[in-house]
């Protein structure tokens, strides 16, 4: 016997399964474009339709690399400013 929550979840899934891939592609475009513009990536000059051709995973990996580089630069700046390594590690 199915609970009310299970029934609602099943109905929702059946309604959304047909368009879920297209919706996901659209959502990726909406979410990735502002981030790529902020980070100076190459995506702003690309038309939105070609955004789906770019691997979402690749975009996240590139952002991760940039964040890692930023963290290293912050640590370097803190060391240059005279902060001790123990103070940096606490943060």
Could you write out the three-class secondary structure of 41-66? CCHHHCCHHHHCCCCHHHHHHHHHHH
Residues 31-41 pLDDT 10s? 666 666 555 55
* Within-domain flag for 53: yes
* Within-domain flag for 6: no
* Within-domain flag for 33: no
Mean pLDDT score across all residues of the chain? 69
Tell which wins on pLDDT, 33 or 50: 33
State which residues form the domain around 81.
48-90
pLDDT(15) > 70 = no
* Within-domain flag for 58: yes
Query: 47 vs 23, 40, 42, 87, CA distance in Å?
Result: 18, 16, 11, 45
Q: How confident is the model at residue 70 (pLDDT cuts 50, 70, 90)?
A: very high
Dig out the tokens for 81 from the structure: 């400013």
Number of domains in the chain: 1
Q: Which of 63, 60, 64, 31 is nearest to 48 (CA)?
A: 31
* Within-domain flag for 54: yes
């Amino acid at each position: 016997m199915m609970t009310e929550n299970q029934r609602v979840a099943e109905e929702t899934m059946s309604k959304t399964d047909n368009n879920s891939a297209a919706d996901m592609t659209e959502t990726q475009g909406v979410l990735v474009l502002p981030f790529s513009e902020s980070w100076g990536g190459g995506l702003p000059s690309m038309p939105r339709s070609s955004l789906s051709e770019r691997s979402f995973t690749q975009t996240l990996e590139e952002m991760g690399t940039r964040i890692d580089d930023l963290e290293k630069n912050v640590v370097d700046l803190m060391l240059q400013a005279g902060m001790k390594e123990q103070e940096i590690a606490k943060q």
